A and B are shown apart, each in its own frame.
Chain A
Amino acid sequence: MKDVMSVRLGPEGLRRLKELSKRDHKEMSAVARELMDYGWVFLMLREYREGKQSLGAFAKALGMPLSEAIDLLADLGVRSPIEYDDYLKAYATAAEFVKGRKKA
């Protein structure tokens, strides 16, 4: 928290900050920082869901291990961007992989 920057806020943004500050008994600057963090997570979730970001990139952006990122996506019910036709191709390949290859 070393850098300081000033940001111009519109009336709606300022109203939201004041409302949250009052509701949660926190300073407006603390509320602003929290909202930035939430906004970052939301943006990453949306980009992941839209297939614009890979799972690894999503996990890295949130600073968490992949397994934890999968758990978070599961908790939030964010659907995987895998399409039905991708699944069909994956199934055909899987069937070839297992076919007659079971080790003794």
Chain B
Amino acid sequence: MSGRALVLDASTAILLAKIGLLRELAGFGELWMAEIAFRETTTKDVDDARLIRKLAEEGLIQRAAAKAGKTDLEKDFRLDEGEAETIALARKMDAIAGTDDGPAIRCLKVLGLPFTSAIALLVAMTEEGTVAPELALELLAKLERFGRYGPRILEDVARRIREAGGGKGGRT
């Protein structure tokens, strides 16, 4: 798995931008977005859209189109074209797909492709030491609102963040 690029769909890119973790994530490796997902994410002139646009301008988020197989994914898994192109791009690049969308995750599981989500990335970056546990708990509160994860997920994330608290310094 190591060394693979991460292709973000609109949901995960927006969530990470809303909690201010997207720029830090770019420090870990190649971030990509499908053209349609990028367009969907940046249509409205709001803070998260501005950040995503800026990261793309800085070359920290790269963009590509992936038409092959997109339409079948839309039809077979009731996906929108942005989500379908994200998965098609991840498959084409042999990359990880970043999504917080239920049907998209179902599709990725059926296809056997690796996936991650905003809240999972928050935990991993906290355990790795990039995000201080105190800050991570604040970001978790934001994700609880915008990501609307279930209580079992939230409890597990809070536990892992607290357990990471004994270790490294991280961002404050």
- On A, residues with C-beta under 8 Å from B are 51-57, 59-60, 65-68, 70-71, 73-74, 77-84, 86-87, 89-91, 93-103
Known: A81-B102, A82-B150, A96-B1. Contact between A66 and B41, CB under 8 A?
yes
Known: A68-B44, A94-B116. Contact between A87 and B153, CB under 8 A?
yes
B136 at the interface (CB under 8 A from A): no
Within 8 A of A (CB), among B60-101: 77-83, 96, 100-101
Additional pairs, 9, CB under 8 Å, beyond known A65-B44, A80-B148, A101-B2: A55-B100, A56-B101, A70-B11, A79-B149, A82-B105, A87-B117, A91-B116, A102-B130, A103-B28
Within 8 A of A (CB), among B3-39: 3-4, 6, 10-11, 14-15, 18, 27-29
Question: Given the complex, which residues of B lie within 8 Å of A99, measured CB to CB?
Answer: 2, 124, 128
Q: Assess whether B2 is in contact with A96, with CB atoms less than 8 Å apart.
A: yes
CB of A60 to closest CB in B, whole Å: 6
A75 to B135, CA, bound (A): 23
B103 at the interface (CB under 8 A from A): yes
A93 to B96, CA, bound (A): 8
Q: Assess whether B153 is in contact with A82, with CB atoms less than 8 Å apart.
A: yes
Q: Assess whether B14 is in contact with A70, with CB atoms less than 8 Å apart.
A: yes
A54 to B102, CA, bound (A): 7
- On B, residues with C-beta under 8 Å from A are 1-4, 6, 10-11, 14-15, 18, 27-29, 40-41, 43-44, 46, 48-49, 77-83, 96, 100-106, 109, 114-117, 119-121, 123-125, 127-128, 130, 145-150, 152-153, 156
Cβ-neighbour of B116 out of A71, A78, A84, A90 (below 8 A): A90
Cβ-neighbour of A86 out of B28, B82, B96, B105 (below 8 A): B105
Question: Given the complex, which residues of A lie within 8 Å of B128, measured CB to CB?
Answer: 98-99, 102
Question: Given the complex, which residues of B lie within 8 Å of A55, measured CB to CB?
Answer: 10-11, 80, 83, 100-101
A71 to B128, CA, bound (A): 30
Could you jot down 27 A-B contacts, CB within 8 Å? A54-B77, A54-B103, A55-B10, A56-B79, A56-B101, A66-B10, A67-B46, A74-B148, A77-B148, A79-B149, A80-B100, A82-B117, A82-B150, A82-B153, A84-B152, A87-B120, A89-B109, A89-B115, A90-B117, A90-B119, A90-B120, A95-B127, A97-B4, A97-B29, A99-B2, A102-B28, A102-B128
